Amino acid sequence: MLTNQEVAEGLLEKFGSQVFDFEEPYGLLTFSTTREEIIPAMEFLRDHKTYQVIFLTDITGIHYPDNAGQEFVVVYHMHSFIHNFRLRIKVALSEADIHIPTATGLFASANWMERETYDFFGILFDGHPNLKRILNIDEMDYFPMRKEYPMEDATREDKIDALFGR
């Protein structure tokens, strides 16, 4: 049984200050890294003799418009079947320089997950073989999951935020 402590120490030993913000929300090891180290970190976890985090569960994005310089976060979920161990990696990106290397070289499943993230957040995965929209139409000229696109029609007066919704 692999513990969060063990993996965190292994990562710190290998990557030093390039991995930071270790947390355990609801028991799931979560840490952040930089976009330069994300692919080496995933490769390290995948090819490590004991950890064997061989499965990429999910890639998605989050938009924090108020975090100046770190508006976007790309979240990776990974899973080691042999130890039944899950972990989460986050990479913060700024809106001005929204590039991150692709993980398609490590996992074939990253292809569509990254396309989906690009489609909804406009995050550019450098080196992706086919980075184009996947669920939305090609002609769309905005990224709909960004927070600046509100769900409701802003001119409506019958639905007040104080009473309904957020």
Partner 1 sequence: MADIELLPHNVPSQSELPELVEELTTLNLGPTHPATHGIFQNILKMDGEKIVSGEQTIGYIHRAFEKIAERRPFYQITTLTDRMNYCSSPINNLGWHMTVEKLLGVEVPKRAQYIRVIMMELARITDHIICNSILGVDTGAFTGFLYVMQKREEVYEIYEEVCGARLTTNMGRLGGMERDLSSTAIRKIHEFIKSFPPVLRELEKLLNRNRIFMDRTINVGPISLERALSYGFTGPNLRAAGLDYDVRVMNPYSSYQDFEFDVPIGQNGDTYDRYMVRNEEMWQSLRIVEQAINNLPEGPYYADAPEYYLPPKDEVYKNMEALIYHFKIVMGEIDAPAGEVYHAVEGGNGELGFYLISDGGRAPYRLHFRRPSFIYYQAYPEMCKGSSLSDAILTMSSLNVIAGELDA
Q: Which of 43, 45, 63, 56 is nearest to 114 (CA)?
A: 56
Amino acid at 107: F
Q: Which of 39, 62, 98, 124 binds partner 1 (CB under 8 A)?
A: 62
Q: Which of 4, 7, 11, 30 binds partner 1 (CB under 8 A)?
A: 30
Amino acid at 112: W
- Taking the least distance from each CB to partner 1, the nearer of 13 and 27 is 27
Structure token digits, residue 135 = 């669920």
Strand blocks (E) in 10-161: 19-23, 29-33, 55-63, 72-80, 85-93, 99-101, 124-126
Binding of partner 1 by 118 (CB under 8 A): no
Binding of partner 1 by 88 (CB under 8 A): yes
Q: Which of 12, 112, 122, 124 binds partner 1 (CB under 8 A)?
A: 112
Neighbours of 66 (CB within 10 A): 8
Binding-site ranges for partner 1 (CB under 8 A):
25-26, 28, 30, 54-58, 60, 62-63, 75, 77, 81, 84, 86, 88, 107-109, 111-113, 116, 120, 133-137, 144-145, 149, 151-152, 163-166
